[in-house]
Amino acid sequence: MKRQRASSERKRARIPSRKAALKLVQTGGLRTRCVGSNPGATTYRRATVFNLINNKSLPVVYNGQQCLASVTPHIKTLLRNFRSGAANGFLMEVCVDSVESAINAERGGADRIELCSSLLEGGTTPSMGVLQVVKQCVQIPVFVMIRPRGGDFLYSDREVEVMKADIHLAKLYGADGLVFGALTEDGHIDKELCMSLVALCRPLPVTFHRAFDMVHDPMAALETLLTLGFERVLTSGCDGSALEGLPLIKRLIDQAKGRIVVMPGGGITDRNLQRILEGSGAAEFHCSARSARDSGMKFRNSSVVMGASLSSSEYSIKVTDVTQVRTLTAIAKNILV
């Protein structure tokens, strides 16, 4: 009788399978059928995994407004496993712009990938061919950058159409989450555009990228992102690097109070990771962990440069370094939480 009741409760709550639940935890929230006035709705938990794990008194999962299904022992086990496997509760996202880098990031212990093209320009939308092959090669979640060009984050109507088309295709080719940002000419979040893009991204989680570091008022911008439904924001603290912007990152995390993930990124290395995590209280961090490898080309024409002369040599290829990722993972695991 007890077994039948447990099975019935599990069915009602629609607790996902072990594999599905782990994937949902890694992408930023447990998904389950709501209990309350709108039982058919699908809702994402906004609280980070780090906060949920460390709040022992939390008996149920919340979305910030209403109570969802109870956290069963099945889900608690997943969260414990996730903590031990995700650098002591710190989730590491690695930005990559190639299949090789994506594979290296996973081998090194990354928990999530931000897939881009052209990291020299801060990252633009990757090709769907790259996304398709990356999804075939890695098991960890892949969040896709939606950015039609380098430069500023003030977009024309045609560029917006490109972004919408790319969101549709990224979802079609298996993206686990999407990353974008847009600003008005006076340095505020473009609410109207972001609202329409977030709606197109659903049910996938969305991250507001480092366009945030160009806003006029970061504290007000954070509240705007909350109202628009972003799950996280990537920021260097509106400074040259996450280390330099550490005071603002801490203020943003304190202001967020678990309602949105504030993820430090920008110049994070093995030399400063511990200071950034301990000084900010962040639960997630973003890095590239890249190093240069020499090209396999034997014949080289040194008279020709592809692209801007300031860019790196065609015969020096930057890829995610497995050893660097492992080092960052080890540092995060040794931080007391």
* Full set of structural domains in the chain with CATH: 2-83 (no CATH), 88-333 (3.20.20.380)
Say if residue 223's pLDDT is above 70: yes
Angle between helices 18-27 and 73-85 (to 10 degrees): 50
Q: Report, as an integer, the average pLDDT of 117-145.
A: 94
Burial of residue 333 (CB within 10 Å: 0-12, 13-18, 19+) is middle
Reported as a pLDDT band with limits 50, 70 and 90, residue 290 is confident
User: What amino acid is encoded at 252 in this protein?
Assistant: L
User: What amino acid is encoded at 178 in this protein?
Assistant: L
Alpha helices in 139-182 (DSSP H): 157-172
Q: What angle is formed at CA 84 by the lines to CA 78 and CA 88, rounded to 5 degrees?
A: 125
Q: Residue 294's pLDDT is what?
A: 74
Say whether the peptide bond before residue 203 is cis (omega within 30 degrees of 0): yes
Biggest alpha carbon–alpha carbon distance for the chain: 79
Nearest to residue 63, comparing CAs of 251, 235, 259, 233?
259
Q: Residue 312's pLDDT is what?
A: 62
Q: What whole-number distance in Å separates Cα of residue 55 and Cα of residue 248? A: 25
Answer with the residue of higher pLDDT: 100 or 33: 100
Q: What whole-number distance in Å separates Cα of residue 233 and Cα of residue 333? A: 23
Reported as a pLDDT band with limits 50, 70 and 90, residue 193 is very high
Answer with the residue of higher pLDDT: 309 or 209: 209
Number of Cβ atoms within 10 Å of the Cβ of 18: 13
Identify the bridge partners of residue 62 per DSSP, sorted by sequence position.
Answer: 67
Say if residue 117's pLDDT is above 50: yes
Region of poorest pLDDT, from 33-47, 160-174, 277-291, 319-333: 33-47
Say if residue 181's pLDDT is above 90: yes
Q: Residue 142's pLDDT is what?
A: 97
Q: What whole-number distance in Å separates Cα of residue 266 and Cα of residue 149? A: 19
Residue 249 tokens, joined: 């990152």
Region of poorest pLDDT, from 10-14, 73-77, 79-83: 73-77
Q: Report, as an integer, the average pLDDT of 88-116.
A: 93
Q: Report, as an integer, the average pLDDT of 6-32.
A: 41
Region of poorest pLDDT, from 205-209, 244-248, 269-273, 290-294: 290-294
Q: Residue 308's pLDDT is what?
A: 57
Name the percent of the chain lying above pLDDT 70.
70
Nearest to residue 234, comparing CAs of 257, 214, 255, 254?
214
Name the percent of the chain lying above pLDDT 90.
60
